Structure 1
């Protein structure tokens, strides 16, 4: 614990918490703690999946969140929260704060692992149950102007009439950056959960939400989370991992841009050299070798330039 507190990164994180007034609700360690409360998870799922009446989720079972690879070359997928409903449907909730370009592929990979793992040996395909993946994202993956709704749902559909052909695959993408606040009284249940995770609520708005039994409990859990030493350490470790990841990605981006600029300059120099060679050959009737020699081009580059001149 002393090591963490003395780390300059943890000091930065604690300063940000103090400035905002609360921890980040999209931190993995916190999200797992929050959703370990079954009543909160059930309420969240009913809201996001719009379950009502006979379709309402009333109970669930937490399942192993680590999917082991069958072969050594397979990736090992680790799911944040995974549960099975009474109906047999499996639900995976992933919380992600660092932008990852291949996120849709990753979500499909997790879906596939859960889907194929739901069929036991000897069972028929009729026994397969739907798998639903919910991605809670602190970044945007759909940049198209027409996709400004923070909640996007994907299913396998008929391209002619856009109607789903099966309930077996269902992906939900919750892009928290796109969430726009409105009055608490005008928010749907799902919007209130998006407001909670977005961190965009004022103190007064949170006070109004605390009148709700479940949402009030979620706010209380967030406010008391860091008082437990294990939670405190897990939260800071995860936030420091995210800082390191972002720093690494920034460094790679800067290196890529630098390399691109250098390659661009080199390509520009080569194009100018080829133009000069062509000019000498056309206007001075030089042979290719004479032109290369006149421009003092190193002999190790001659064959390459000859090929490009042709």
Structure 2
């Protein structure tokens, strides 16, 4: 298949475009090749066939809020795979990932089915930003015991593919997942030939992107989706910044109030202590005038004998 070069390409990181490239029935071979490179880095055997459970259709319009642009597939062995492209950081991605993984996992069971029928669920998050505090662009998580590393169960597997960590990654000279990620990241088209030599199926993904980029209706839909994603990201960032500012203001106000209250309490306590001491000294002076012993005065006033002796000299 010959590559057709288009100057102004759509961004494959746009989830609408991503699903059209990887989540359509006619491009199942593209998805399969991508998945096998992903799973190879997890030490898993290659897949031979997959079934798309929510394939892209013309009804998946960016203007429809009900449209779902992640990809949900199932292997011959029954393993469920969910792939989601995230162009902007929605924050709390770790909790969000577990929440949606749990929904996918639990939704398998129908009425009267037993837990044993639950199949493994794999979540693959492709992120256009960095989340995890390491330099790895591909991180894989399972559920294992801390000390012995034995698995509790193999039903949970979560992948984070962070495109932002590929900034300084050189174009490879051999096949592998990084070729696919560089394509998604938007590597310069001058490198496309090398990428397709490393990963031949990438050529079909590239051609699909080229054809989509030349279609006027697709471009209108793409721009509508881009606008929605940018607006959503701006609202999230705005709410986050507002929340941080509000939290900082409230924290300062609370600190001021606490300081005022503490100062008031401390002043009250200090004044009370000074008043109590003055009263004790008055009692001691009166008793000294009567010629009583320091030991007796100490017991009556609460002052030490040394303090009473100092009062004699005043």
On whether the aligned pair clears a TM of 0.5, the verdict is: yes
Residues of 2 paired with 1:77 and 1:238: CA distance?
A: 11
Alignment partner of 1:255 is 2:242: yes
Distance 1:92 1:286, change over 3 A: same
Pick from 31, 37, 46: which aligns with 1:56? 46
Residues 39 and 46 of structure 2 are in contact (CA less than 8 Å); yes or no, is this contact kept in structure 1? no
Stretches of structure 1 that go unaligned for 5 or more consecutive residues are: 1-16, 67-75, 288-310
Give a deviation string over 1:189-211, Cα, whole Å, max 9, x none: 11111111222x22321132244
Aligned pairs, number: 255
1:68-107 matches, cutoff 5 A = 78=68, 80-107=70-97
Alignment partner of 1:173 is 2:160: yes
Stretches of structure 2 that go unaligned for 5 or more consecutive residues are: 1-5, 57-65, 276-314
TM-score by length of 1: 0.70
Q: What corresponds to 1:28 in structure 2? A: 15
Distance 1:224 1:194, change over 3 A: same
Give the match's secondary structure for 2:173. helix
Give a deviation string over 1:46-77, Cα, whole Å, max 9, x none: 110118999321211111479xxxxxxxxx99
Displacement of 1:222 after TM fit? Answer: 1.6
Q: Which has the larger radius of gyration?
A: 2
Residues of 2 paired with 1:134 and 1:256: CA distance?
A: 30
Residues of 2 paired with 1:283 and 1:124: CA distance?
A: 72
Residues of 1 paired with 2:30 and 2:123: CA distance?
A: 18
Residues of 2 paired with 1:273 and 1:113: CA distance?
A: 49
Q: What corresponds to 2:285 in structure 1? A: none
Alignment partner of 1:208 is 2:208: no
1:225-304 matches, cutoff 5 A = 225-263=212-250, 266-267=253-254, 270=257, 273=260
Residues of 1 paired with 2:77 and 2:118: CA distance?
A: 11
Pick from 153, 156, 173: which aligns with 1:185? 173
Q: What corresponds to 1:299 in structure 2? A: none
Q: What corresponds to 1:127 in structure 2? A: 117
Q: CA RMSD in A?
A: 3.4
Residues of 2 paired with 1:52 and 1:277: CA distance?
A: 62
